[in-house]
């Protein structure tokens, strides 16, 4: 690849790429993100490659291996353009029919199409409710781009925003644009990115840094990974624009080593940028110099905190420090450092290309643009969804998510991960933006949205988050280290049936102390999952403490497994599958569980055929009866 | 893989023996040999001119580092939030029972290591067990026993 020495060189390259592409040509886009790979999408791609070869279709069809499309529930996912035909749950054996049917004769393979809960079939991707209600500003290009091929990004106006900034805008104008767009941090806090940029720009010092925070630690969110895996250049372009506005020559990308595919695609993208002269000295002949280095995190949730992350970049342990002096004044090596999240950076080129008015027309008064959520848990359509800020929770969960699995009843939705809270059913009309979520005791966080049904125990969920945080607290400050440990201890006792009167009040007291006195956001927000569930689901806590009952039948110490003799037909499935030999019975006669041997592993409950549903869980007074 | 200090040196040199690249160097060594031996840590400390306590500080702080050898087969159970609400605790119990290991433990014959991980991003499959890169959605005790048998 020849080095680009000017903005017009970039335009010429883009024209050249586009001239070699026919928009009417059939393009098959297959998702090869981590989710689809778990469903063996790589085998599907291999079969496609060899099938296209055998049928002599290599010239007529472009095969694009892309990053995450978002609809992880039904992977592996394929979209055939220009028609937009979407196929789901593709097996390698289906490939031949796709080639001989759809790609050769335009015949749609019915059994691979999307069918909704009511049995309606949709051929085209944009008609599927999961996609129809989304607004994919940042995430939309994922399915059109081979993340390892910079040409694909350039063909979709890639690096156009950078060229505009370097070629015809002053750093001050770029800064003003991002400030006017009111782009708020997508990593959790929602702090205005423009203000952060400005503080770093105005801070004294010649050497300044920009940093991409890709240490996505919320154990229920994976949008940052999917952007980096699927469209790494969008983040890199945003970062370069930020560096230009702030006045930096060097940037860091801090990414979890648990995301090997994202690291690989990022490294490849950086290499390609270097080849084109989009990194290094005198980028596009404009006199702007910039270098990037990639740092892999070695597994520490707290290292996603800004001061901890910067200490980790310096090769030390990633512990937070008190922020009397902000990192925008004194960050990496004591130099002014601006840190923004992956999704925030990926929004920057969009704002420059489409303009402030376009961007601020999306969203609510205080939160502009879109947000990507990982819609997961007990919802029908699991996946990544990008919606305009202000969309109602109800619409996200029921219109896009298709409602609750297995016809169960909605109970709550958890947003904000370990720092967020649960939101009950009567608040489903809540418009989702930074401020509204804050007000009800939760937070936007990085965008985890975990849907819970009647079989989810809220006490257990609070315990779950505290277990995670107890493990991840760095232990530097006492309120966080001890506060989380003590709250966890109380919750463990409650879940074990050893809760005592006064426990809930004590829990609230410890929570208030932890919130007030902790050094960093990890500890300050750690009580949120407990406090919000106590606020909305107090009766469930009381049932655990007073009646030794887990109404959702989750807490192991409070439940027993039981086979209903009236329903059991003696098929023997549970008996054969029980790993500890706790089930006895003769064929075609009701079986019995020996509670002394039962380890409550749930296997019998799982394998009992749904037409019998003879295995039940009992708790509290139910067990005695 | 058996340890070779020559390979360790090669990794250190790849980063120009830069003190600040400590975490990156250790990640590469861990990736190469699946654990960090005492000898390697001493050698790395020596090469980078860092006190050994800083290396212990770093290797015990970050989860990814292991100061004991890891098993030939990596078994992990996702305990991310989505998997948790869909029954990851029960799955972890079954996996621990099947492999006769507790989380973060390696079998005496160094055959299996069991780990928990937070969100693999395949929440639609959850709860999920991964053995040597192969994903299984909510396996039963019998299915887990079969995997144990199949591993050599």
CB contact under 8 A, B86 and A378: yes
Q: What does the alpha-carbon distance between residue A384 and residue B121 come to, in Å, rounded to a whole number?
A: 10
**Order of strands across the sheet that contains A448-453:** A383-388, A370-377, A448-453, A410-415, A421-424
CB contact under 8 A, A317 and B62: yes
Instruction: Say whether residue B71 is in contact with chain A using an 8 A CB cutoff.
Output: no
Quote the pLDDT of residue A299.
87
Quote the mean pLDDT of chain A: 95
How much is the ipTM here? Answer: 0.92
pLDDT digits (tens, 9 = 90+) for A72-82: 989 899 999 99
Pick among B81, B133, B143, B148 to test the A interface (most A CBs inside 10 A): B81
Instruction: Say whether residue B65 is in contact with chain A using an 8 A CB cutoff.
Output: yes
Structure tokens at A108: 């749609």
Q: What does the alpha-carbon distance between residue A117 and residue A407 come to, in Å, rounded to a whole number?
A: 10
For residue A204, CA distances in Å to A200, A358, B86 come to 8, 34, 51
Q: What is the CA radius of gyration of chain A?
A: 27
Q: Band of the pLDDT at A295, cuts 50, 70, 90?
A: very high
Chain B contacts of A300, Cβ < 8 Å? 61-63
pLDDT digits (tens, 9 = 90+) for A571-606: 999 999 998 999 999 999 999 999 999 999 899 999
Chain A contacts of B125, Cβ < 8 Å? 38-39
A:568-597 residues touching chain B, CB 8 A cutoff: 576-579
Residue A309: burial class (beta carbons within 10 Å; 0-12, 13-18, 19+): buried
CATH architecture assigned to A458-547: Up-down Bundle (1.20)
Residue among A209, A215, A219 at smallest CA distance from A247:
A209
Instruction: Say whether residue A475 is in contact with chain B using an 8 A CB cutoff.
Output: no
Enumerate the domain spans of chain A.
24-81+85-123, 150-358, 370-453, 458-547, 558-624
More confident position, B117 or A91: A91
Quote the pLDDT of residue B71.
92
Task: Specify the CATH number of the domain A370-453.
Answer: 3.10.20.600
Chain B contacts of A39, Cβ < 8 Å? 122, 125, 135
A558-624 carries CATH number 3.30.70.20: yes
Chain A contacts of B27, Cβ < 8 Å? 257, 296, 298
Q: What does the alpha-carbon distance between residue A560 and residue B135 come to, in Å, rounded to a whole number?
A: 30
CB contact under 8 A, A376 and B21: no
DSSP string, chain B: ----HHHHHHHHHHTTT-GGGHHHHHHHHHHHHSS--HHHHHHHHHHHT--HHHHHHHHHHSTT--SSPPPSEEEEEE-SHHHHHTTHHHHHHHHHHHHT--TTEE-TTS-EEEEEES--S-GGG-SEEEETTEEEES--HHHHHHHHHH--
Pick among A376, A397, A413 to test the B interface (most B CBs inside 10 A): A376
Quote the pLDDT of residue A439.
92
Q: Band of the pLDDT at A264, cuts 50, 70, 90?
A: very high
Taken in order B40, B41, B43, B47, the sign of the CA dihedral is positive
Given a contact cutoff of 8 angstroms between Cβ atoms, the answer to whether B75 and B113 are in contact is yes
CB contact under 8 A, B81 and A414: yes
A:416-455 residues touching chain B, CB 8 A cutoff: 417, 448, 450, 452
CB contact under 8 A, A219 and B121: no
CB contact under 8 A, B57 and A317: yes
pLDDT at A1 over 80: no
Which residues lie below 8 Å from residue A235, measured CB to CB, with a gap of 6+?
Answer: A212, A214, A227, A228, A342, A345, A346
Q: What does the alpha-carbon distance between residue A134 and residue A514 come to, in Å, rounded to a whole number?
A: 38
CB contact under 8 A, B94 and A450: no
Chain A contacts of B58, Cβ < 8 Å? 298, 315-317
CB contact under 8 A, B125 and A222: no
Query: CATH fold of A150-358, please?
Result: Rossmann fold (3.40.50)
For residues A47-54, give the mean pLDDT: 96
Q: Band of the pLDDT at A52, cuts 50, 70, 90?
A: very high
- Of the listed ranges A31-40, A323-332, A367-376, A536-545, the least confidently predicted one is A31-40
CA-nearest residue of chain B to A462? B81
The DSSP bridge pattern shows strands A250-256 and A209-214 to be parallel
Enumerate the domain spans of chain B.
5-61, 73-150
Chain A contacts of B90, Cβ < 8 Å? 600-602
CB contact under 8 A, A72 and B124: yes
Structure tokens at A539: 């009766």
Q: What is the CA radius of gyration of chain B?
A: 18
Pick among A31, A38, A599 to test the B interface (most B CBs inside 10 A): A38
A24-81+85-123 carries CATH number 3.10.310.30: no
Task: Specify the CATH number of the domain B73-150.
Answer: 3.40.30.10
Pseudo-torsion of CA A47, A53, A56, A62, nearest 10°?
80
Structure tokens at A333: 């090596």
Of A217, A295, A378, which is closest to B85 when you measure between CB atoms?
A: A378
Half-sphere exposure of B126 (CA within 13 A, CB side): 32
CB contact under 8 A, A38 and B125: yes
Quote the pLDDT of residue B58.
95
Chain B contacts of A313, Cβ < 8 Å? 20
Chain B contacts of A318, Cβ < 8 Å? 61-62
A204-208, long-range: CB < 8 A, 24+ apart: A204/A336, A205/A335, A205/A336, A207/A249, A207/A250, A207/A333, A207/A335, A208/A246, A208/A247, A208/A248, A208/A249, A208/A335, A208/A336, A208/A337, A208/A338
pTM exceeds 0.90, yes or no: yes
CB contact under 8 A, B81 and A417: yes
Quote the pLDDT of residue B121.
73
pLDDT digits (tens, 9 = 90+) for A107-156: 999 999 999 888 899 999 999 999 999 999 999 999 999 999 999 999 99
Quote the pLDDT of residue A323.
84
Quote the pLDDT of residue B54.
94
Instruction: Say whether residue A603 is in contact with chain B using an 8 A CB cutoff.
Output: yes
CA-nearest residue of chain A to B79? A219
CB contact under 8 A, B123 and A382: yes
Quote the pLDDT of residue B2.
62
């Amino acid at each position: 690849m020849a080095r680009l020495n000017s903005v017009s060189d970039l335009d010429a390259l883009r024209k050249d790429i586009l001239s070699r592409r026919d928009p009417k040509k059939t393009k098959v886009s297959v998702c090869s993100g981590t989710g689809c790979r778990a469903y063996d999408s790589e085998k599907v791609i291999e079969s496609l490659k060899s099938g296209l070869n055998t049928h002599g279709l290599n010239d007529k069809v472009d095969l694009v291996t892309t990053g995450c499309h978002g609809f992880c529930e039904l992977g592996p996912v394929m979209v055939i353009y220009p028609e937009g035909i979407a196929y789901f749950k593709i097996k390698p054996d289906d490939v031949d029919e796709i080639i001989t049917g759809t790609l050769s004769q335009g015949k749609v393979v019915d059994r691979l199409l999307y069918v909704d809960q009511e049995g309606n079939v949709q051929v085209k991707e944009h008609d599927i409710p999961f996609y129809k209600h989304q607004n994919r500003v940042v995430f939309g290009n994922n399915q059109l781009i081979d993340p390892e091929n910079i040409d694909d990004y350039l063909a979709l106006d890639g690096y156009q925003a950078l060229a505009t900034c370097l070629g015809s805008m002053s750093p001050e104008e770029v800064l003003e644009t991002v400030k006017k767009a009111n782009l708020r941090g997508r990593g959790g806090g929602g702090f205005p990115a423009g203000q952060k940029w400005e503080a770093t720009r105005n801070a004294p010092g010649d050497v300044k840094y920009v940093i991409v925070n890709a240490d996505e630690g919320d154990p229920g969110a994976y949008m940052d990974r999917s952007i980096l895996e699927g469209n790494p250049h969008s983040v890199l372009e945003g970062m370069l624009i930020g560096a230009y506005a702030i006045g930096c020559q060097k940037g860091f990308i801090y990414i979890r080593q648990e995301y090997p595919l994202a690291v690989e695609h990022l490294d490849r993208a950086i290499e390609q940028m270097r080849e084109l002269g989009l990194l290094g000295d005198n980028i596009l002949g404009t006199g702007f110099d910039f270098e990037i280095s990639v740092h892999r995190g070695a597994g520490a949730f707290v290292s996603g905190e800004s001061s901890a992350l910067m200490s980790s970049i310096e090769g030390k342990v990633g512990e937070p420090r008190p922020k009397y002096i902000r990192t925008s004044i004194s960050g990496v090596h004591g130099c002014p450092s601006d840190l923004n999240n992956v999704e925030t950076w990926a929004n920057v080129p969009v704002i420059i290309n489409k303009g402030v008015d376009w961007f601020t027309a999306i969203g609510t008064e205080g939160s502009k643009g879109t947000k990507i959520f990982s819609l997961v848990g007990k919802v029908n359509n699991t996946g990544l969804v990008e919606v305009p800020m202000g969309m109602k929770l109800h619409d996200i969960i029921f219109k896009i998510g298709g409602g609750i699995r297995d016809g169960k009843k909605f109970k709550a939705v958890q947003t904000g991960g370990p720092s967020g809270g649960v939101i009950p059913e009567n608040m489903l009309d809540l418009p989702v933006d930074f401020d509204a979520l804050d007000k009800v005791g939760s937070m936007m966080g990085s965008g985890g949205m975990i849907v819970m049904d009647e079989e989810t125990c809220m006490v257990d969920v609070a315990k779950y988050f505290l277990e995670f945080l107890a493990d991840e607290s760095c232990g530097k400050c006492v309120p966080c280290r001890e506060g989380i440990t003590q709250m966890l201890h109380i919750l463990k006792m409650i879940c074990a049936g050893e809760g005592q009167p006064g426990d809930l009040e004590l829990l609230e007291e410890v929570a208030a102390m932890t919130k007030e006195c902790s050094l960093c956001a990890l500890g300050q927000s750690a009580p949120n999952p407990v406090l919000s569930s106590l606020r909305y689901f107090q009766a469930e806590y009381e049932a655990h403490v007073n009646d030794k009952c887990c109404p959702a039948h989750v807490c192991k110490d409070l439940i027993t497994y039981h086979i209903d003799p009236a329903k059991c037909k003696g098929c023997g499935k549970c008996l054969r599958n029980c790993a500890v030999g706790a089930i006895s019975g003769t064929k075609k006669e009701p079986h019995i569980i020996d509670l002394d041997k039962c380890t409550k592993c749930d296997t019998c409950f799982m394998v009992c055929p749904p037409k019998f549903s003879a295995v039940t869980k009992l708790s509290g007074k139910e067990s005695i009866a | 893989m058996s340890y070779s200090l020559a390979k360790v040196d090669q990794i250190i040199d790849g980063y120009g023996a830069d003190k600040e690249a400590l975490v990156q160097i250790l990640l590469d060594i861990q990736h190469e040999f699946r654990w960090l031996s005492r000898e390697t840590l001493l050698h790395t400390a020596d090469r980078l001119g860092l006190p050994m306590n800083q290396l212990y500080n770093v290797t015990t702080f970050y989860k990814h580092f292991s100061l004991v050898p890891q098993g030939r087969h990596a078994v992990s159970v996702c305990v991310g939030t989505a998997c948790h609400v869909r029954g990851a605790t029960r799955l972890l119990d079954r996996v621990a029972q099947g492999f006769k290991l507790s989380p973060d433990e390696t079998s005496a014959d160094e055959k299996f290591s069991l780990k928990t991980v937070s969100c693999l991003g395949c929440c639609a499959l959850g709860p999920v067990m991964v053995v040597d890169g192969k994903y299984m959605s909510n396996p039963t005790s019998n299915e887990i026993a079969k995997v144990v048998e199949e591993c050599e």
